[in-house]
Structure 1
Amino acid sequence: MILALCLPAFGQQPQTEEEVVRLSPFAVTENANIGRYQAAEATSGTRVRMDLMDSTQSISVVTNEFMQDIGTDRLLDAVKYVAGIGASTQPNALDAMNVRGFTNYGATIDGFSQFNWVNQDPIVVERIEIVKGPNAIIAPQGLPGGVVNNVTKRPLFTNKGYVSYQIGRWDANRAAFDGNYVVRPDKLAVRVVGAVTDADDYGQDEFHQNITMMPMLTYRLSPTTEFTIQLQAYNASVLANNGNPISVYAVGRSNVRLQEGLPRNFQMLGRNITRHQNGQNTRFFFTSQITDKLSTRLVGNWVEQSVRTNFLGVSRAFDASGAPGEVVLLDPITGEWSWDGVTLNNSPRYNLGGANEWPKLNYGNLQNDFVYEHSASTWKSQSVGGYAVNYNSQHQRIKNYTADPTLYDFSNNFTPPPYTLEPNWRDNWSSRGRSTQVYIYEVLSLFEDRLVLSGSLSQNRYYSSNHDNLTNLRSQNKGEATLPSGGLVYKITPEVSAYYGFSKQELLGGSDEANGIPPHTVPSRQHEGGVRIRLFDGKLYATLAYFDIMQSNLYQQNFANYVTPRPVPPLPPVLTQRTSKGFEFELSWSPTKNFSMVGSYTDYKNRDQDNMRYTNVPEKMASIWGQYTFSDTGALRGLAIGIGASYTGERPSDTIGQYTEPPAGYTPVRIQPSFWIPSYTVVEASASYRFNKYWRANLVIKNLLDKDYIPGSFNRNIYVSTPINPKLTLRYEF
């Protein structure tokens, strides 16, 4: 309907030969002369194009060239080189990553967030834009740490494409296609991208399969008005381990390793403990320049997902006689764990248990933005306004696996047993949510761009409802938030700028009134300041930022419920908060057309109100990557080599926010992590060779030094790293 109303106005804008067609404010410009890894603009921070030097928030861009050079098989491969982003709990699913310490699950595609049980295939992604910190324009209900926005590929008005095939030791066996065809010059272009993966993973019998296709077309109604539609469909299956038992002697920073007697590639799942997800995603983008100063964009998104996923885990350890076999014990007075060095359990046994889930999800989004731009001799302004309507629904059913009394010895010829499901549902519920947003955003550039002032206001309303299909109980939650942001950028010179920004965000929190948690919202705010430099015509870009994030109105168990004797009835939960503050440094540099590099360093603290760290969140990270392409003449022409390394600091394992239950007369204290995941550094390298203008080969070696490390943990289970892993991709371009 909105589109139909807008079309007549667009049709009244005839173009003449003398008219200068401006680039749409909703598209970025790319300059190949500044380097393979350099980006000067992004659209994710404010929904419109912005120079990175003018932003009051940290915005990082991962280019498509960088994704190709490092052999990106999952999004984390690329964004781990960005400051403030690291791996989270589960390395093989959910696109799980930490952004300034807050765990991100699922993926944000073209500004629309959705939850995924499988990793997004990179074939659909053109570039990745990371907006750090709360942002009420692009994600009023997003994570406080920021948004990792995957900008999809679009049709181009040039004929080009490629097909490729990858082989490797693990995580390979993949074919990809990307073809673009101009049907009518400057009028109609179509593009189809797709990939098929059927890969064996490192763990015993582990695999992942994925078929992803995305056909799309762009039609230009006029030189300044175009319409793009994408149809993305995928079907994925994964057998991915949920973690293996850690040594029963692991405590603190000692004995942190896989349980003794288990091979490194051990996994306890059978072939029927897999995860399946299929979905369809339809997106459209309509942009137009109404006048020489006024432009608009209308964007829609509809997602349907169907999932069947499994979880299987182990109990606490028993010994060979069936008696409790945990040798690491908790001190209820101090909250610390310890092993006496004497008590042994050299043959631990475990019960197995888990659940099967059948989620079905739908997402619907509609956004409409308007931009008015005005320029004068010494100043210019950009006024942006718009609205968004969002909808989501979920139907979730869960059955437990039938209780299995067997105590399994994993180190003694263990074979995954068959699993059966209980006849009755453990959970069967439906939920629906909707939100509306109206926002305005203003940027004012003064003194010939020396001073840039910006501010926004976003008005949001949220509503959610839940229906328990087993008990027929219904609940609902609603909220409203007015979220401001603002800041300034001062350019000390055209190449050096200092900035400060303030931003807010607010989530709709879950309620549990039976346990004392009323309907509520969870606000977040950020202060950020820093310095940016852009030298040598954009070939060197660096930023140093300090940020201070606070998330408040969080509910936590009341420690007074853990005294002896316990109060009856239990006291309600108490409100608490979470903070994340520290420094980030990023650098991208292309001193010559042959050499490009990126680097980052992060040092921050992500803590709760009691100064406790969060599970699987490293507070120190660093990375560097460099690539050199040999000149077009000489014996090594066509060859490019690259090498990089990423460092992840130590992390707490199983912090769960609980209190001890001490003897009478002692105060309950927080339970500390039972072990710490060691820090690690991983090195990877690549070498590519272009035979001619059509053929190219690319060899990527993951974990070049064959490092044995722990990428994540869950309770007393850990994940193991994949050993050295070469992958070769042969690519034909046309």
Structure 2
Amino acid sequence: MESILSPILHPTAFGNPKSRADRTAPFPTKSMKQYSSLLGAILAFAPVSLLAQTAPQAAAPKTDSTQEETIELPAFTVSDQLANRYRATDTMSAARIRSSILDTPVSINVITQDFIQDIGATSILDASRYFAGISAGRLSGTNGISDRHLSRGFENSGRTVDNMSTAYQAQINPELIERVEIVKGPNAILAPTGSPGGSLNVITKSPSFKPSYSVIGEVGRYSANKATVDLTGPITDALAYRIVSSYLDSDTFVHGGNIKSFDFNPSVLYKIGKNTTLKVKANYVDWEAHGNAAVPGGIGISYLVPVGSHVSGNRPSQRAAGTTYDGWGMQPDWALRKDKVKAIAAELVTAITDSINMRVAASTNTDSFMEDDIYTGGGNYGGNFYDPYTGIYTPLLKWSLDTTTGNYVPTTVPWSDPRKTDVSADRTIAEYDDTMFQHDFAGRWSLNGVTVSPIAGWMYQNRHGTNWERQKYLGQYDALKFPRDPLPHPARSEYDNKDTDITETKKLLQFYAYTQLGFLDDRVLTTLGWSRIRVDNKTVDHNNNDSVATLKGPHDTYAASLLVKVTPNASLYYGYSANAQATDAGRGAPPRWRDGKQHEFGVKSEFLDKRISASAAYFRINQNNVSTPNPLRQLDPSQPGTLYQDITNNGIELEIVGGITKDLSVIASYTSMHYRDTLGRRVRNVPDEMSNLLLNYQIDKQWSVFAGLQHTGDMAAETAPTSPTPLGVVKQVAYYTEPFTIVNAGGSFRWNRLRVTLDIENVLDTKALYQASGAGAVVAYPSINPKLTVRYEF
């Protein structure tokens, strides 16, 4: 036993990188009851799994075609075999069971572990942006939160991990990832209340009975300086373990920023019998962003820039006074965004009969979050700085009604003095517990030439926690002074301006059933599905006399598809899918459901022994009941104050993924879409066009090189105000970011058990703006960043 665990018990290349007296143990004693209850819930199904061991073996096909015959059972895991290092042929995220991507009537991308390692990805977005329809949102990427991204224009803040929903801000360590599956459009099984643009499912590494021990070191200009160990192997013939652990201490591109992170991820796999496995995974993450990295707001746009213009990263005159390209903000050294996560998940998979598989899974996590930073005031913003007749922003003109003439007239107002910037400290503390249970059944039969593949199940989630936020006015400071004046750090008791103080509970119960029917030897596949979700939310506002707000009610969504395999390697398909979000209708009324619905038409094909795939898709996503202030209310008080309208995005996506030859791999994508808000305006951070290309060439068994190109079209640099002008005119977007193209390159060298990889991000040192939060905060694209990764297996 000790020889098996010696890399764990006696580490030589990796130890505790930093002693932290205040570091909490990954699973404190006081929490063991919670985690024991979770495992107990899973093991309660053990008698069913043990009975399954005596189930009859799969029967041989019967000669009478009118009789039912058993065929291959569906699986709740994906294959570890790849057609190409960048191309997987199967997925489990469409319906939580393994299915061929070619036979799935929806656009799905799989990011492989090989691709993540080849490009030296430090966040999921580094890899996902090469695929169609994926772009950066607010606080995305390496210095971002929650693995946030945009999928088909809709922001997705969060991801599922091994099919379990997560909401914490700490990002997933790429070294923990086995693969990432991106499902485009609403997904009622994976994300029943998620974004209508798509879902991101991270599948983490699992224990292996084949011993493997790796040590990884990474250094770079920024977003690097990380050490990792990855250890896996058998403990007994039926029990295997895995431990993945990393420590990161790195400066960020944002000036004066630093990120520290430690994660420890043990897991075990137990083969209960021939047809039953139990997998348990635990995670501990301690993630911190310091200084300007705590709130990487970026560059302010100068009031001298003509309204309606496109702003660029290489024009200093367009930046607000006191900001530089690397985002030098006013955040003090004590600014901190911190997230500590303790989680455990268990999954039992068994064959109940020779026709039915069952999956039982449960997870629980505790998320302790704190944000301690400042925000600044100033600038000529607000409704009075919009021309009432045109809706155009006028930063130096303030409009008011001349009661004599009845006309609106402007008054020249100088821009606020940046040397007298109002500064307030802001502190947020949130504590949440999140528990989830899932129970699925999947089967497969063939009767009279028709294949029947149903999956049905239920899910329950309970999220409970508190959120506390306070402010403290610090005074006026000089925003132009370098270095910044030191700012006092108030004690918690000194925060006197109450903002948020709530306790909330969010419960979600779901039942679902989906069935796929296959005709003509599965050359024609049709799917019908139904999902019912029921929310039961309660929020107690302690700032408002402990007032209680509730949100409770059920809702149904549906899915349908038709797929025709015109050849064994080509499919035509149509798919309809939907999910829904509950919104407050007020006065204790049932929820107003915001449905996300997608119609998608597409073609998929495979070539060269499935080594490469090509696909094309047209999609139309509609989300209803999006609230918008009624512009007519300004002219007619009898009109309703709020309208509930639809927003729509439609577009096309083209993709090629895989091996052109055995040595040359490619990822190429193109996206063209048209996403506008309910008032017809561009949506912040959403480009109309994107195109990407990556080529990797394996020169020989030792050397490989790659080059990548990412092009992003222009984007709205702010979300225009939703309220109209006093004359009912829609307010317009003030600024846009220019299109930009980023070039990445690198290569790797292998020698026996050693692999050395050099990745250079933004080789041409292109200066561009993206990830806008508003006109006062547009993030600069990071400058050239070489990174060296050394990976040794022993």
What TM-score do you get using the length of structure 2 for normalisation?
Answer: 0.85
Deviation string 1:701-730 (CA, Å, 9 cap, x unpaired) is: 111110111122222222122210000011
Q: Is the 8 A contact 2:73 2:444 kept in 1?
A: no
Counterpart of 1:679 in structure 2 is 739
Deviation string 1:242-288 (CA, Å, 9 cap, x unpaired) is: 33322222332255543256432312111221101101111111101
Choose from 635, 647, 667 the match for 1:598: 667
Choose from 324, 330, 340 the match for 1:263: 324
Deviation string 1:422-469 (CA, Å, 9 cap, x unpaired) is: 235322101101111111111111111211111111122111111112
Deviation string 1:27-48 (CA, Å, 9 cap, x unpaired) is: 112434x211111110000011
Aligned runs of 1:290-329 on 2, under 5 Å? 290-310=352-372, 312-317=374-379
1:68 is paired with a residue of what secondary structure? helix
Counterpart of 2:115 in structure 1 is 66
Q: Is the 8 A contact 2:323 2:329 kept in 1?
A: no
AA partner of residue 455 (structure 1) = L
Q: Is the 8 A contact 1:249 1:255 kept in 2?
A: no
- Confirm or deny that 1:726 pairs with 2:786: yes
Aligned runs of 1:99-498 on 2, under 5 Å? 99-185=151-237, 187-239=238-290, 240=293, 241-250=296-305, 251-254=307-310, 256=312, 257-260=318-321, 262-265=323-326, 266-310=328-372, 312-317=374-379, 330-337=386-393, 348-349=418-419, 350-375=421-446, 378-400=449-471, 402-411=472-481, 413-420=483-490, 421-423=494-496, 425-470=498-543, 471-498=545-572
Q: Is the 8 A contact 1:655 1:671 kept in 2?
A: no
Counterpart of 1:535 in structure 2 is 607
2:48 is paired with a residue of what secondary structure? helix
Distance 1:722 1:11, change over 3 A: same
Deviation at 1:25, TM superposition (A): 1.0
AA partner of residue 224 (structure 2) = A
Distance 1:30 1:88, change over 3 A: same
1:76 is paired with a residue of what secondary structure? helix
Deviation string 1:69-108 (CA, Å, 9 cap, x unpaired) is: 1111111111111111100122322222111111111222
Q: Is the 8 A contact 1:258 1:718 kept in 2?
A: no
Deviation at 1:343, TM superposition (A): 9.4
- Distance in 1 (CA, whole Å) between partners of 2:311 and 2:122 is 32
Counterpart of 1:612 in structure 2 is 681
- Which has the larger displacement, 254-263 or 285-294? 254-263
- Distance in 2 (CA, whole Å) between partners of 1:678 and 1:344 is 28
Distance 1:411 1:681, change over 3 A: farther
Structure 2: runs of 5 or more not aligned: 1-40, 62-69, 313-317, 398-411
AA partner of residue 199 (structure 1) = S
Deviation at 1:376, TM superposition (A): 5.8
Distance 1:627 1:344, change over 3 A: farther
Percent pairwise identity:
27
Choose from 703, 709, 727 the match for 2:768: 709
Deviation at 1:348, TM superposition (A): 3.7
Deviation string 1:602-648 (CA, Å, 9 cap, x unpaired) is: 1111122221221111221111111111223xxxxx11101101111
Q: Is the 8 A contact 2:207 2:267 kept in 1?
A: yes
- Confirm or deny that 1:76 pairs with 2:125: yes
Counterpart of 1:321 in structure 2 is none
- Which has the larger displacement, 330-339 or 598-607? 330-339
AA partner of residue 489 (structure 1) = L
Q: Is the 8 A contact 1:111 1:138 kept in 2?
A: yes
Deviation at 1:407, TM superposition (A): 4.4
- Distance in 1 (CA, whole Å) between partners of 2:565 and 2:357 is 28
Q: Is the 8 A contact 1:66 1:78 kept in 2?
A: yes
- Distance in 2 (CA, whole Å) between partners of 1:406 and 1:260 is 16
Q: Is the 8 A contact 2:612 2:657 kept in 1?
A: yes
Q: Is the 8 A contact 2:161 2:202 kept in 1?
A: yes
- Distance in 2 (CA, whole Å) between partners of 1:460 and 1:72 is 36
Counterpart of 1:9 in structure 2 is 51
Choose from 50, 53, 78 the match for 1:28: 78
Deviation at 1:366, TM superposition (A): 0.7
Q: Is the 8 A contact 1:165 1:175 kept in 2?
A: yes
Q: Is the 8 A contact 2:335 2:373 kept in 1?
A: yes
Deviation at 1:65, TM superposition (A): 0.6
- Confirm or deny that 1:40 pairs with 2:89: yes
1:7 is paired with a residue of what secondary structure? helix
Deviation string 1:281-313 (CA, Å, 9 cap, x unpaired) is: 111111011222211111111111000013533
Q: Is the 8 A contact 1:294 1:370 kept in 2?
A: yes
- Distance in 1 (CA, whole Å) between partners of 2:355 and 2:731 is 59
Deviation string 1:640-662 (CA, Å, 9 cap, x unpaired) is: 10110111111112224423434
Deviation string 1:110-154 (CA, Å, 9 cap, x unpaired) is: 222222323222222210101111111221111101101111111
- Distance in 2 (CA, whole Å) between partners of 1:248 and 1:340 is 8
Deviation at 1:673, TM superposition (A): 1.4
1:9 is paired with a residue of what secondary structure? helix
Distance 1:219 1:254, change over 3 A: closer
Choose from 751, 757, 773 the match for 1:698: 757
Q: Is the 8 A contact 1:105 1:116 kept in 2?
A: no
Structure 1: runs of 5 or more not aligned: 318-323, 633-637
AA partner of residue 541 (structure 1) = S
- Distance in 2 (CA, whole Å) between partners of 1:348 and 1:518 is 47
Counterpart of 2:704 in structure 1 is 640
AA partner of residue 102 (structure 1) = F
- Distance in 2 (CA, whole Å) between partners of 1:371 and 1:90 is 39
- Confirm or deny that 1:579 pairs with 2:579: no
- Confirm or deny that 1:56 pairs with 2:56: no
- Which has the larger displacement, 571-580 or 459-468? 571-580
- Distance in 2 (CA, whole Å) between partners of 1:549 and 1:406 is 47
Distance 1:182 1:15, change over 3 A: farther
- Distance in 1 (CA, whole Å) between partners of 2:281 and 2:81 is 26
Distance 1:451 1:518, change over 3 A: closer
Q: Is the 8 A contact 2:725 2:731 kept in 1?
A: no
Distance 1:675 1:455, change over 3 A: same
2:732 is paired with a residue of what secondary structure? coil
1:359 is paired with a residue of what secondary structure? strand
Q: Aligned residue pairs: how many?
A: 709
- Distance in 2 (CA, whole Å) between partners of 1:171 and 1:160 is 27
Q: Is the 8 A contact 1:333 1:660 kept in 2?
A: no
AA partner of residue 700 (structure 1) = D
Deviation at 1:181, TM superposition (A): 1.1
AA partner of residue 414 (structure 1) = R
Deviation at 1:415, TM superposition (A): 3.0
RMSD of aligned alpha carbons: 2.6
